[in-house]
């Protein structure tokens, strides 16, 4: 067995009001793929930022040994000079520069102040071939998909003679096909002698590519497991992450037994939407769905099926060009031509992109929660800050938002806690219909269970819930009925009792011409 290439010993990192890492130890062997997992807020990303110099030497306690020598990095450039390269979850590419320019940004092939473009393009082409990309190196980053952008980041790392590659949630924004390509590349780089550390919530991916997994919980290293050992099951890893056995991944739910002859809380009839740029293309094509009070209704579909486009276009026409269809609330037709109109009719939409559309990342928890219903905390048009703080504090406790105070900046929270703030914001608005678009994307199993419990409670209170998810087990575990979509069209409606992953996948892959 190869010896350690990296040792992190007794790492302690403190931020104002919180100890993010407490006596963390990590050992990574030469040439392995080492996974790090834990709940949101467990300290995974903070530990990697300490390793890569984002949090420089002197701002933490403990020692880092790389290739047998103690190292102290003052910044990222210092760690990269040793061959340690980190790829963050939020990609650090300049969209309007070319692939080649991005690969060598800050590390240009230049002499006498002039860039050698022939050498740049030649070297970039070699690196792109190495990561399996056939795109021309002069292609702009904005003109390629997120999956290819992730590969460009790896090509950029390879240009720096990487020895230890750190990937923070590398597949969080990728579809299944792109995720598979990326995981295959990590295994290929392993054959080339490159050691990798991968942070991921996706346990199936960890089992596919990792040799070892270190579990963090509450800022502490709990244990390191051999992924290939028979006893290292997903349940075993989950137990280490959350500190308890999760006998059930989903809360016990009594199936919907409400009145089926009453008018639905929300009904969408013959809804059609054209693409915002290519207006000859239908992204939602004659879709009709409904959801009753107390019911959780799922929408399943592969990438490009039109699920998010349907949700956004219904919620204030925030996507595409509406070409037809009606929305009914409790049997009465309503207008939802703007977000304000949708909210006024008691409809809330929790976006799949919480960072861009769901939250104000530079403001605090307090302000984010009150934004959707300022009238509830205002007197004569002036916000009552004391009342606003009471509301935020109530949600911080009831939703178990892990933050020292409600004045913590939302951008500093983990993904799971950010999602709880988004849910709190819309629950505070008092909606009767909630459209949840990938509400647990990118968060750990412990935080997922808490959010599932909140959703289940909302349905028990008589709210109507539309649940969009790419995770079929999640839909099967939470929903009373599940609609399936493909290529913008509705392809099926499956009751809970008949729903299996096989049945849903069959419906999701039907030809787009199949009608209801």
Domain annotation covers residue 250? no
How far apart, in whole angstroms, are the C-alpha atoms of residue 310 and residue 264? 18
Report how many helices (DSSP H) and strands (DSSP E) the chain contains, helices first: 16, 24
Helices (H), 371-463: 385-398, 415-428, 445-460
Residues 305 and 402 in one domain: no
Q: How confident is the model at residue 246 (pLDDT cuts 50, 70, 90)?
A: low
Q: To which residue do tokens 């629950």 refer?
A: 427
**In the chain, how many domains are there?**
3
CATH of the domain at 499: 3.40.50.300
Asked if residue 41 and residue 30 are part of one domain, the reply reads yes
List of residues 6+ apart from 208 with CB closer than 8 A: 183
Residues 366 and 331 in one domain: no
Are residues 358 and 314 part of one domain? no
Checking if the pLDDT of 251 tops 90, the result is no
Mean pLDDT of 248-276: 84
Q: Which of 210, 242, 274 is at the close of a domain?
A: 242
Q: Residue 94: give the domain boundaries.
A: 4-242
Report pLDDT for 17.
67
2 pLDDT higher than 50: yes
Identify whether residues 103 and 168 lie together within a single domain. yes
- Which residue carries 């060598």 as its tokens? 104
Asked whether residue 102 carries a pLDDT value surpassing 90, the answer given is: yes
pLDDT exceeds cutoff 80 at 412: yes
Token pair of 321, please? 């060009």
What is the radius of gyration, based on Cα positions, of the chain?
A: 24
For residue range 361-395, list pLDDT tens digits in order: 899 999 999 988 888 888 888 888 899 999 999 99
Q: Which helix (H) or strand (E) holds 21?
A: strand 18-29
* Average pLDDT rounded to a whole number, residues 268-275: 94
Mean pLDDT across 312-321: 90
In a domain, 78, yes or no: yes
Total-model pTM: 0.65
Mean pLDDT along residues 126-133: 91
Residue 85 located in a structural domain: yes
User: Using CA atoms, how far apart are residues 420 and 90, in angstroms rounded to an integer?
Assistant: 20
Q: Is residue 450 a contact partner of residue 41, using CB atoms and an 8 Å limit?
A: no
Across the range 89-105, mean pLDDT stands at 90
Paired strand residues for 22:
none
DSSP code of 140?
B
Q: Say what angle helices 176-191 and 146-159 make with each other, to 10 degrees.
A: 20
Residue 43 domain-assigned (yes or no):
yes
Same domain as 365, residue 298: no
Tell me the mean pLDDT in the region 499-509: 86
Q: Residue 103 domain-assigned?
A: yes
pLDDT at position 514, please?
A: 38
Higher pLDDT among residues 258 and 340, named by residue: 340
pLDDT score, position 53: 94
Residue 380: the pLDDT is 83
What is the mean predicted confidence (pLDDT) over 77-94?
89
Please indicate, yes or no, whether residues 90 and 71 belong to a single structural domain of this protein. Answer: yes
461-499 pLDDT tens trace: 999 999 999 888 889 999 999 999 988 999 999 998 899
297 domain residue, yes or no: yes
Shared domain check, 28 and 162: yes
pLDDT of amino acid 13 = 94
Same domain, yes or no: 178 and 308: no
pLDDT at 175 over 80: no
Share of the chain above pLDDT 90, in %: 54
pLDDT in tens, 325-351: 999 999 999 999 998 999 999 999 998
The two beta strands, 433-437 and 464-468, are parallel
> Which of 405, 430, 455 represents a domain boundary (last residue)?
430
Average of per-residue pLDDT values in the chain: 88
Higher pLDDT, 425 or 252: 425
Residue 159 lies in a domain: yes
Examine the domain organization and report whether 48 and 148 are in the same domain: yes
Alpha helices in 375-414, H assignment, sequence order: 385-398
The verdict on 188 and 66 lying in the same domain is yes
- Three-state SS at 170: coil
Q: Are 487 and 284 a contacting pair, CB within 8 Å?
A: no
Q: Is the pLDDT of residue 113 over 90?
A: no
Higher pLDDT, 316 or 250: 316
Cα–Cα nearest to 181, from 143, 214, 152: 152
Can you tell me the mean pLDDT for 94-121? Answer: 90
For residues 21 and 79, membership in a common domain is answered with yes
Look at residue 516 and tell me whether its pLDDT is greater than 60: no
Task: Point out the least confidently predicted range of 67-81, 322-336, 411-425.
Answer: 411-425
Please say if the pLDDT value at position 12 is more than 80: yes
Tokens describing residue 341: 């109109």
Cβ 459 vs Cβ 404: under 8 Å: no
User: Would you state the pLDDT for residue 218?
Assistant: 83
- Of the three residues 242, 273, 304, the one that is the final residue of a domain is 242
Mean pLDDT for 238-257 is 73
Residue 38 lies in a domain: yes
Residue-level pLDDT at 264: 94
């Amino acid at each position: 067995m190869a010896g350690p290439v990296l040792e992190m010993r007794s790492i302690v990192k403190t931020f104002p009001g919180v100890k993010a890492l407490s006596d963390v130890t990590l050992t990574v062997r030469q040439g392995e793929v080492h996974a790090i997992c834990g709940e949101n807020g467990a300290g995974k990303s903070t530990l990697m930022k300490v390793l890569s110099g984002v949090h420089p030497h002197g701002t933490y306690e403990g020692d880092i040994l790389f290739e047998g020598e103690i190292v102290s990095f003052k910044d990222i450039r210092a760690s990269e000079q040793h061959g340690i390269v980190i790829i963050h979850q939020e990609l650090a590419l300049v969209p309007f520069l070319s692939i080649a320019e991005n690969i060598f940004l800050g590390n240009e092939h230049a002499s006498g102040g002039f860039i050698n473009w022939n050498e740049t393009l030649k070297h970039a082409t070699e690196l792109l071939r190495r990561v399996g990309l056939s795109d021309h190196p002069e292609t702009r980053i904005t003109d390629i998909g997120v999956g290819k952008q992730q590969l460009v980041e790896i090509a950029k790392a390879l240009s720096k003679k990487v020895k230890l590659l750190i990937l923070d949630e590398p597949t969080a924004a990728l579809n299944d096909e792109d995720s598979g390509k990326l995981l295959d590349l990590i295994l290929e780089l392993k054959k080339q002698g490159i050691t990798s550390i991968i942070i991921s919530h996706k346990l199936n991916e960890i089992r596919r590519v990792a040799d070892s997994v270190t579990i963090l919980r509450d800022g502490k290293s709990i244990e390191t497991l051999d992924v290939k050992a028979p006893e290292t099951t997903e349940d075993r890893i989950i137990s280490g992450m959350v500190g308890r056995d999760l006998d059930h991944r989903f809360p016990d739910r009594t199936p919907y037994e409400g009145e089926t002859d009453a008018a639905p809380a929300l009904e969408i009839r013959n809804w059609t939407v054209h693409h915002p740029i290519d207006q000859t293309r239908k992204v939602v094509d004659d879709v009709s769905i409904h959801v009753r009070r107390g019911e959780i209704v799922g929408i399943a579909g592969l990438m490009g099926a039109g699920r998010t486009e349907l949700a956004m276009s219904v919620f204030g026409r925030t996507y595409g060009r509406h070409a037809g269809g009606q929305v009914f609330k409790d049997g009465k037709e309503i207008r939802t031509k703007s977000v304000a109109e949708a909210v006024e009719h008691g409809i809330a939409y929790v976006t799949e992109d919480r960072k861009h559309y769901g939250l104000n990342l530079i403001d605090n928890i307090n302000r984010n929660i009150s934004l959707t219903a300022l009238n509830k905390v205002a007197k004569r048009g002036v916000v009552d800050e004391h009342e606003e703080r009471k509301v935020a504090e109530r949600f911080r406790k009831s939703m178990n938002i892990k933050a020292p105070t409600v004045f913590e900046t939302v951008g500093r929270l983990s993904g799971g806690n950010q999602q709880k703030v988004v849910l709190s914001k819309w629950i505070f608005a008092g909606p009767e219909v909630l459209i949840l678009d990938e509400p647990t994307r990118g968060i750990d199993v412990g935080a997922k269970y808490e959010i599932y419990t909140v959703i289940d409670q909302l349905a028990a209170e008589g709210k109507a819930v539309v649940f969009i998810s790419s995770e079929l087990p999640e839909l099967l575990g939470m929903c009373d009925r599940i609609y399936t979509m493909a290529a913008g069209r509705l392809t099926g409606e499956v009751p809970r009792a008949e729903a299996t992953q096989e049945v849903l996948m069959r419906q999701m892959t039907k030809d787009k011409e199949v009608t209801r």
